[in-house]
Structure formats: structure tokens, C-alpha cells
Chains A and B, each alone.
Chain A
């Protein structure tokens, strides 16, 4: 311990640089973890965090809510099949909306999602206020509260001028990286008509199903898919994960994480290997005057832990400080799980890579001190 800390004190710049490198890497990894989660959440959060367990798309909709349109005959087919205990409509559209007072007044693209039954399409992650109960009320995505979508704000759908008041906020319910409003199905129909008064009764985009008791969601999916090739039925999780682009984003980030995950242990391992080389004669001398190999090994491990710990603390601190807010419209959040997982992974990797140095320390021959030939020579 004494040796390890003394050396840290004497070689502040060297250890400082290493800690800085580890901290930067930790920061980047965690930041990108937030970015990936933020990206996915803001694309499909509204699907993942709504209450319907099974969703029926039109096959031609290619698993995009707005691209799917359920025709009356398909709806009738699903309802009459009796496969589901409950069937309800969900409608979704992109509208130009003037935000409420909190915003800057500039109209922005907004997703409006209407559901018939709160148990089949309402947001499940309410953090403030309540669900809409009547016409002209909405729950908004909390990430957009400060853009004029806070509780009490009244937003206006253009060009018709329909007013919708935000009565609640839900977490992680964005769709396609736009502010998102969950409304009753009637309010959704009014929104469509306010934009285009000639539009008749808009067709639902997807159907939300409740499985009968004892029927698992997977079986319901198979049953409904069996009705027609025109129907593309998915569980809630599949609807989110199999939306276009989601798998691509995941795979891309996985490769990036893999590469960064290798760099951290390598940098630490290399550093300590070089330091051990440099110190070979001093270490040999210590062995010669009776220091057991274990003491030297402990000293090495203490330093590795200090460096990794320092780098992690600094990197996590930097991450905590900078991850608030949003980047390119994507809300970022401090991911506690990611911090814990990466801390464990990086400490394990760092210690593992320092084994190379440990092996070298163990191999030191105290006799070499008497001949003046250190290990490094």
C-alpha cells in the first residue's frame, strides 16, 4: 500500500494522463449508451410504453403506425373472430401544432395518438397529472414539457385551430423523435377533421387487442395472423423492437461498444506493463531486501484499482454533468444500469489485463539485484 501510493504521488502526470484516458473512454461509452437508449426511446417509446399488449398492423404498413391503415373489412374480421377478449382502435397522425405558453410559439411537428380504451393504448408511465378524460385533453411526453407541452399548456392543431390541453405527462412516450400527445379516440378524429374538414371518418391505423384470460399474448398473435396475410400482429415488445431502423441502431452501437470495451483494458494493461518494465530494477532490489512477491503484487493491484476507480469516477462524473438535456432532439438520461454494468465490465477487464504485469512481477529474480542485471535490461 505504502509503495503503491508513494509512487502515485511521485508520478502524478503519468498516472493523471492514464486516469484522464480511462475517464474519457468511460464517458464516451456511457454517453453513447444514453444516446442509443434515447434514440430508441424517442423513436418507439410511445409503442413500448402504452397499455395494449398486442397490436394489429396492416401488413403494408411495414410496422409503421402511420403507414398502417386497417380497413373496415379487416377490422370486422378481427372482431368477429373472437380471438381477443377486447378489440379497440388506435389512430395516429403527424400534425403541425402551435405549442403552449412554455414554448417559443413556433409551430412544431407533433404526433397525436388516439385510443378508444385506456386499457388498450393509454400511456403506462404517467409521471404527472392524469390521463385525458374528455375531449380536448392530452397526456404529453415529459421530455417535451418545456417546449410548451407542460401540464396546463394548451396547444393548437394547425390549420384548423383545434385546442388541446395537456392534463398529464408520461415518461418515454415519444414517437419518431417528435413531441407526442396521447388523446381519446374522439379527440384524434377531431384533430384529423380540423386539419382537413373534408375528411370523413378516418380509418384506425392499428387495432389494440386484449388476450382472453389464460391465453398468452404469443398465441393470440398467431391466431390473429392466421386470419389473413393482410394482418401483421405483434406483441408490444416486438412492435417496438421490429419497427424499421431499431435493429440497425442496436447493431451499430453494439459494434461501437465492443471496440471501446476492448480499448479500456488494453490501455490500462499496457500502461502497467510498461511501468513494471521501468521499475524492474527497483522491484528486483525490493525483492532482494526481502519484500515478498505478494507485497509487490498487492501494490500493483492497488494502483490498477486506483487508476480504474479514478477514471471511472471522473468519467461517470463527466457523464452525469453532461448527459442532462438533449442532443439533436433526443432526450438523454443518466442510465444507472449502464453505469453499473460498465463499471463491473471495465474493472474486470482492467484487472485481467494487469495480469500480464503481475506475471512479470512474480517472475522477478532477487538474485538479479546482486549481479546488476535487472529484468528490463
Chain B
């Protein structure tokens, strides 16, 4: 992977277009989108349902391939990658925090972090040390052995953040990270995200409906009908 220090953008989308076939007609989910996210920058992606946020997020996170255009993640052009290569990009360069938390229910908090290592490089001891460190930083040291069911909503979200950071990603994608939480807890989680991203210099895109959380971000990008309307 080509990582050339801080000057390379964490994400660069150039004239990215995504078209879905729906029966005989076509639906344009992303329409010539350009977006650049600098290292350490936190971008809020705001827009109504169906505006293309999720598609943009999926393409940036190497889950989907664009129909046309160029996608560069941390200096690596992934536009023409096959599914196998995309899987490797997700594993090595990108982190995800999903809306419905999605922790593995039968694994402890610590093991949920180690899953990333197990399906990836399998470094063993270093991974365990990193998991412990992350749990400590996220205030979960005493919860390491708890199963998700034994954790509060906020704690679960913090475990999910820890999991996203396990592979030391260049870009973390947050999909509505506060929607399942009450507003006070939501704000606390956003504060934590801001703090953790800034401390690591990791770029982040936060997909949200909620205008209130944009204040934790460096800038907001608005989407509508597959286009970026305000940036």
C-alpha cells in the first residue's frame, strides 16, 4: 500500500458516479461526485434518506465499486479493484462504525476488537496489546471481559469505535453513530470520536441526519439526489 506521509489525502473521490439497474430503468445514486478528505479531517455527511450518503460511504469504504470515476484511499487508487482486493483495502486501510453497533454477540468486548486481527494479519501478541490499549483509552478497561449484552448502549458504541481503530486505519466511516443513543449520550460519543480522531490524525466521515452533531466536525458536506449540494 502506498502511504506517503501526511500530505496525501485520506480520501479522494473524482467524478465518481454510481448507477443501479432497477428492472429496465436506471437509478443514479451518485452523480459525478468530487470529494477530498485530508488526513485527520472529520467530515459530516448530511442529507435526507435516499440522497446517496450510504452509497458514497460504501464506495469510500471499499464495499462498493463506482460505475465510473476515480477513488483513491490514502494514496491507493482502488477504482478498478476486484472484490478480493477491496476486501484487503477494508481490512488494512479503513475502519467502520455501523449504525446498529453490530458487535459479535458471543464475544467479549476485548475479543470483538481482536476479531479484526483474526480475520486479517493475525499478529497475535501485538494485536492483544493494541486491543488493551484501545480499551483503556476508550475507558473500557474494566469492561474488557463483558459480553455486549452486559454493556450499555454507549459502551457498545465505544467498543465499536475501538474495533474500527484496531487496524490503524487512515479513514474511519461512521454510519449514524448516535441514532440509537439518547441525545446526551450521543453528544458524549461524538466528543469521544472527535477526540480519538484528532489524537491519531485519522480522517473520518460521519453520516448523519442530525445537524447538531456537525459541530463536532471540521466541515459538513450536504447531499441531495446523488449530488453534493453544499460543501
Q: Which residues of A contact B (CB under 8 A)?
A: 372, 377
CA distance A372 to B179 in the complex (A): 13
> When A and B form their complex, what is the total count of cross-chain residue pairs whose Cβ atoms lie within 8 Å?
3
Query: Can you list the 3 inter-chain pairs with the closest CB atoms, starting with the nearest?
Result: A377-B105, A372-B180, A377-B149
Interface of B, secondary structure class, is: loop
Q: Which residues of B (179-213) have their CB < 8 Å from a CB of A?
A: 180
CA distance A92 to B180 in the complex (A): 88
Task: Return the chain B residue nearest A373 by Cβ.
Answer: B149
Chain B neighbourhood of A377, CB < 8 A: 105, 149
User: How would residues 114 to 127 of chain B score, 1 for a CB under 8 Å from any chain A CB and 0 otherwise?
Assistant: 00000000000000
Q: Which residues of B (92-123) have their CB < 8 Å from a CB of A?
A: 105
3 CB contacts below 8 A, A to B, read: A372-B180, A377-B105, A377-B149
Chain B neighbourhood of A372, CB < 8 A: 180
Task: Return the chain B residue nearest A372 by Cβ.
Answer: B180
Please give the distance in Å from B12's CB to the nearest CB on chain A: 37
Task: Return the chain A residue nearest B148 by Cβ.
Answer: A377
Please give the distance in Å from A202's CB to the nearest CB on chain B: 78
Chain A neighbourhood of B180, CB < 8 A: 372
Please give the distance in Å from A370's CB to the nearest CB on chain B: 14
CA distance A262 to B180 in the complex (A): 45
Q: Which residues of B (75-102) have their CB < 8 Å from a CB of A?
A: none
User: How would residues 158 to 183 of chain B score, 1 for a CB under 8 Å from any chain A CB and 0 otherwise?
Assistant: 00000000000000000000001000
Chain A neighbourhood of B149, CB < 8 A: 377
Chain A neighbourhood of B105, CB < 8 A: 377
Please give the distance in Å from B112's CB to the nearest CB on chain A: 16
Please give the distance in Å from B188's CB to the nearest CB on chain A: 20
Please give the distance in Å from B149's CB to the nearest CB on chain A: 8
Task: Return the chain A residue nearest B100 by Cβ.
Answer: A372
Please give the distance in Å from B216's CB to the nearest CB on chain A: 25
CA distance A330 to B149 in the complex (A): 60
CA distance A377 to B106 in the complex (A): 11
CA distance A172 to B105 in the complex (A): 62
Task: Return the chain A residue nearest B149 by Cβ.
Answer: A377
CA distance A91 to B180 in the complex (A): 90
Please give the distance in Å from A255's CB to the nearest CB on chain B: 38
CA distance A377 to B149 in the complex (A): 9
Please give the distance in Å from A67's CB to the nearest CB on chain B: 66
Task: Return the chain B residue nearest A376 by Cβ.
Answer: B105
CA distance A14 to B231 in the complex (A): 49
Please give the distance in Å from B101's CB to the nearest CB on chain A: 11
CA distance A372 to B153 in the complex (A): 12
CA distance A18 to B53 in the complex (A): 41
Q: Which residues of B (134-163) have their CB < 8 Å from a CB of A?
A: 149
Please give the distance in Å from B176's CB to the nearest CB on chain A: 14
CA distance A377 to B180 in the complex (A): 15
CA distance A377 to B103 in the complex (A): 11
